[in-house]
């Protein structure tokens, strides 16, 4: 009976787990899509259908809806949000650039979509991530690559194909597939040195942004779609084109839009490339136990279990570039960890490390940051103590002369004392007996003094108190 009950509980738990897994995202499934108006949602049925199919609990709301709030009582209401209303002048009262920044800061994932007539609110929001959209009204234009329908071309619908080779974000299917990505909208500037921001789609050399002013934004500098991962692993995607996501562009022949949108949303909503540290251990190689503190030059083992999430499950993460550092102001050790085994959902990386011959507070750190993957940056502060007073090597071979010296000294001193103490008090004056007694060993001293008659009694008496 009890067995059946616990079995039932297990099944229920398993079912719950399955349901979570089915959600697709490693984080959660509450998804908010903000569209300009309720009717406009019809134009994105492909996207919404795909999201729902992937297990998201999609709420589609008009952007101007005042009842929509990202946080209620300080708690995040959604795990993911898509801001598909670039031009909406008035967002809901609770939907300001600040609230979106807070949403992302709090771990929410966000897709921000722009257009030529995008609102200041959206620009301001994007600017916080280092994505600077072009002037109001500007469009991305390409006179060589553009959509041609029925012999007439619209130069503002750019046929972009400069996809960044970031396998963590863009799938091989997308990169290898034929066709182009259709893009109609606004371009943005980005800082290529920003480690958090990765351009996913940029302009071709012939692509440029009109109304750029003196410095025409074109080619690689012209960002079309960019992805951003915060230091806390929240993800944000920016696209200068809302049409990119629309049914119309997805259904166009030779269009790779569908796959691109799929990849971008999958990445942004943490359905893939989510890396995490499951566990980590460090211990003495000799005992296998983690000590309270290490000693200098200890041999120790550091292990870290990494798993990565994709295709609805946590799987072992396999790479050959996971590095370990032991840092005290500067790294004293930086070594690559070896993958030892992949047990269950995690792969174990292990390093057999000899600690530096330097005491202090060290930080054991694995700082693994790869484009598109979630950051793993784990630190352990560990004290390395100097040797105990009785752990230093004793009896160094180099010091044998000194040991010998000290023992000879001791023996000599004892011999001298013995000679002095047990030599007979000279009753008669002694003649030159002194040198003989001092040089010869104690056992012979006594007969020597006795044998020789002494003459300098005065001297003996005088020097006696000196050494007493």
Partner 1 sequence: MVGKVLGLAVADQASLLRLAILGLISIVAIGSRLYSVIRFESVIHEFDPWFNYRTTRYLVNNGFDKFWNWFDETAWYPLGRVVGGTLYPGIMVTSAAIYNALHLLNIPVDIRNVCVFLAPVFSALTAVATYYLGKEVKNATAGLLAAAFIGIAPGYISRSVAGSYDNEGIAIFLLVFTFFLWLRAVRLGSALYGALAATAYFYMVSAWGGYVFIINLIPLHVFALLAMGRYSNRLYVAYSTFYALGTLASMQIPFVGFQPTFTSEHMAAMGTFGLIQLVAFTHYLRALMPAGHFQTLLRAAVAMLFALGAGGLVLLTMRGVIAPWTGRFYSLWDTGYAKVHIPIIASVSEHQPTAWPNFFFDLNLLMLLLPAGIYFSFRELTDNHVFLILYSIFAAYFAGVMVRLILTLTPIVCVMAGIAMANVFETYLDFRGMTAQTTGAGDTTEDAKAPATSAAAAAAASVAASVPPGSPARPALGKRLYAYFPKAVVMVNFMYFLFMFQLHCSWITSSAYSSPSVVLASRAPDGSQHIIDDFREAYYWLRKNTPQDARVLSWWDYGYQLAGMADRTTLVDNNTWNNTHIATVGKVLASDEDTAYELARRHDVDYVLVVFGAMLGYSGDDINKFLWMIRIAQGVYPNDVSEQAFFTADGQYSIDDSASPTMKASLMHKLCYYRFNEVMGAQGFDRVRKQKLPSNVELHNFAEAYTTENWLVRIYKVKDLDSLGRSHRAADAFNGPRPAAPRRVPF
Q: Nearer to partner 1 by C-beta: 151 or 465?
A: 465
Q: How far is the CB of 128 from partner 1 (least distance, A)?
A: 6
Q: Nearer to partner 1 by C-beta: 59 or 363?
A: 363
Of residues 190, 362, 364, 368, which one binds partner 1 by CB under 8 A?
A: 362
Would you say 433 and 454 are in contact if contact means Cβ atoms under 8 Å apart? yes
Q: How far is the CB of 361 from partner 1 (least distance, A)?
A: 4
Residue 356 binds to partner 1 (criterion: CB under 8 A): no
Residue 8 binds to partner 1 (criterion: CB under 8 A): no
Any residues with CB less than 8 A from the CB of 57 and at least 6 apart, and which? 29, 30, 31
Would you say 78 and 48 are in contact if contact means Cβ atoms under 8 Å apart? no
Of residues 161, 254, 404, 463, which one binds partner 1 by CB under 8 A?
A: 463
Any residues with CB less than 8 A from the CB of 411 and at least 6 apart, and which? none
Q: How far is the CB of 410 from partner 1 (least distance, A)?
A: 13
Cα distance between residue 368 and residue 353, in whole Å: 19
To 5 degrees, how large is the angle CA 414–CA 417–CA 420? Answer: 150
* Contacts of the segment 408-415: beta carbons below 8 A, 24+ positions apart: 415/441, 415/442
The upper half-sphere exposure of residue 144, i.e. CA atoms within 13 Å in the direction of its Cβ, equals 9
Task: Give the residue carrying structure tokens 């490339």.
Answer: 273
Residue 267 binds to partner 1 (criterion: CB under 8 A): no
Question: What Å distances lie between residue 463 and 432, 446, 459, 466, CA to CA?
Answer: 14, 19, 6, 5
Any residues with CB less than 8 A from the CB of 154 and at least 6 apart, and which? 146, 147, 184
Residue 104 binds to partner 1 (criterion: CB under 8 A): yes
Cα distance between residue 49 and residue 20, in whole Å: 19
- 189 to 218, contacts with partner 1 by CB under 8 A? 194-197
Burial class (CB in 10 A: 0-12, 13-18, 19+), 453: exposed
Q: How far is the CB of 33 from partner 1 (least distance, A)?
A: 23
Q: How far is the CB of 327 from partner 1 (least distance, A)?
A: 8
> Alpha helices of 70-171 — where are they, by DSSP H?
97-105, 120-127
Angle of helix 400-422 relative to helix 442-451, nearest 10 degrees, comes to 30
Residue 334 binds to partner 1 (criterion: CB under 8 A): no
Residue 130 binds to partner 1 (criterion: CB under 8 A): yes
Q: Nearer to partner 1 by C-beta: 363 or 371?
A: 363
Residue 234 binds to partner 1 (criterion: CB under 8 A): yes
Of residues 206, 298, 342, 363, which one binds partner 1 by CB under 8 A?
A: 363
Residue 173 binds to partner 1 (criterion: CB under 8 A): no
Q: Name which of 314, 310, 300, 353 is nearest 331 in CA terms.
A: 353
Residue 78 binds to partner 1 (criterion: CB under 8 A): no
Q: How far is the CB of 83 from partner 1 (least distance, A)?
A: 16
Choose one: 5-13, 98-106, 311-319, 445-453; the region binding partner 1 (CB under 8 A). 98-106
Q: How far is the CB of 81 from partner 1 (least distance, A)?
A: 16
- 313 to 332, contacts with partner 1 by CB under 8 A? 328-329
Collapsing DSSP states into helix, strand and coil, what is residue 377?
Answer: strand
Choose one: 36-44, 126-134, 155-163, 406-414; the region binding partner 1 (CB under 8 A). 126-134
Residue 232 binds to partner 1 (criterion: CB under 8 A): yes
The tokens for 66 are 């005042």
Residue 2 binds to partner 1 (criterion: CB under 8 A): no
Residue 359 binds to partner 1 (criterion: CB under 8 A): yes
Burial class (CB in 10 A: 0-12, 13-18, 19+), 275: buried
Cα distance between residue 267 and residue 391, in whole Å: 54
- The per-type count for the chain, helices as H runs and strands as E runs, is 11, 27
- 373 to 392, contacts with partner 1 by CB under 8 A? 381, 383, 385-386, 388-389
How many residues bind partner 1 (CB under 8 A)? The answer is 38
Q: How many CB atoms neighbour CB 435 within 10 A?
A: 8
Residue 466 binds to partner 1 (criterion: CB under 8 A): yes
Choose one: 127-135, 170-178, 342-350, 366-374; the region binding partner 1 (CB under 8 A). 127-135
Q: Nearer to partner 1 by C-beta: 293 or 354?
A: 293
Q: Nearer to partner 1 by C-beta: 50 or 230?
A: 230
Would you say 76 and 104 are in contact if contact means Cβ atoms under 8 Å apart? no
Task: Give the residue carrying structure tokens 């002095």.
Answer: 420
Residue 459 binds to partner 1 (criterion: CB under 8 A): yes
Q: How far is the CB of 121 from partner 1 (least distance, A)?
A: 13
Q: How far is the CB of 195 from partner 1 (least distance, A)?
A: 7
Q: Nearer to partner 1 by C-beta: 231 or 354?
A: 231
Residue 101 binds to partner 1 (criterion: CB under 8 A): yes
Would you say 78 and 54 are in contact if contact means Cβ atoms under 8 Å apart? no
Interface residues toward partner 1, by CB under 8 A: 97-98, 101, 104-105, 124, 128-130, 194-197, 228, 230-232, 234, 293, 328-329, 359-363, 381, 383, 385-386, 388-389, 459, 462-463, 465-466, 468
């Amino acid at each position: 009976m009890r067995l059946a009950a616990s079995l039932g509980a297990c099944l229920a738990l398993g079912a719950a787990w399955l349901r979570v897994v089915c959600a697709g995202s490693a984080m959660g499934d509450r998804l908010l899509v903000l569209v300009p108006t309720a009717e406009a949602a019809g134009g994105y049925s492909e996207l919404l259908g795909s999201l729902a199919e992937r297990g998201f609990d999609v709420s589609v709301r008009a952007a101007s809806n005042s009842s929509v709030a990202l946080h209620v009582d300080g708690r995040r209401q959604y795990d993911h949000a898509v801001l598909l209303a670039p031009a909406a002048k008035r967002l809901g009262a609770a939907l300001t650039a600040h609230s979106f920044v807070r949403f992302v800061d709090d771990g929410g994932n966000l897709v921000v979509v722009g257009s030529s007539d995008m609102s200041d609110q959206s620009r301001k929001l994007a600017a916080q991530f280092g994505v600077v959209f072009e002037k109001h009204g500007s469009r991305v234009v390409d006179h060589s690559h553009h959509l041609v329908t029925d012999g007439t071309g619209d130069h503002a619908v750019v046929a972009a194909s400069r996809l960044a080779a970031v396998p963590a974000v863009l799938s091989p299917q997308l990169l290898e597939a034929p066709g182009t990505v259709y893009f109609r909208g606004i371009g943005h500037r980005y800082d290529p040195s920003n480690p958090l921001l990765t351009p996913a789609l940029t302009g071709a050399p012939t692509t440029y942004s009109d109304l750029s002013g003196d410095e025409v934004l074109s080619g690689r500098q012209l960002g079309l779609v960019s992805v951003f991962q915060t230091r806390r692993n929240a993800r944000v995607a920016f696209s200068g084109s809302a049409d990119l996501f629309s049914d119309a562009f997805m259904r166009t022949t030779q269009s790779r839009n569908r796959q691109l949108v799929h990849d971008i949303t999958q990445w942004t909503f943490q359905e893939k490339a989510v890396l995490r540290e499951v566990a980590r251990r460090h211990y003495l190689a000799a005992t296998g136990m983690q000590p309270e503190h290490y000693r200098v030059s200890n041999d120790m083992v550091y292990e870290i279990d990494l798993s990565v999430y994709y295709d609805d499950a946590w799987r072992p993460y396999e790479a050959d570039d996971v590095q370990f550092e032991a840092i005290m102001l500067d790294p004293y050790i930086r070594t690559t960890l070896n993958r030892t085994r992949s047990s269950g959902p995690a792969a174990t990386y292990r390093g057999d490390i000899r600690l530096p011959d330097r005491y202090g507070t060290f930080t054991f750190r694995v700082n693994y940051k790869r484009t598109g993957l979630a950051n793993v940056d784990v630190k352990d502060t560990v004290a390395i103590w100097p040797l105990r007073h009785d752990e230093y090597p004793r009896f160094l071979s180099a010091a044998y002369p000194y040991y010998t010296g000290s023992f000879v000294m001791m023996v000599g001193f004892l011999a001298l004392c013995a000679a002095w103490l047990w030599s007979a008090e000279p009753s008669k004056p002694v003649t030159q007996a002194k040198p003989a007694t001092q040089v010869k060993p104690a056992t012979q001293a006594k007969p020597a003094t006795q044998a020789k008659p002494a003459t300098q009694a005065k001297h003996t008496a005088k020097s006696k108190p000196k050494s007493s």
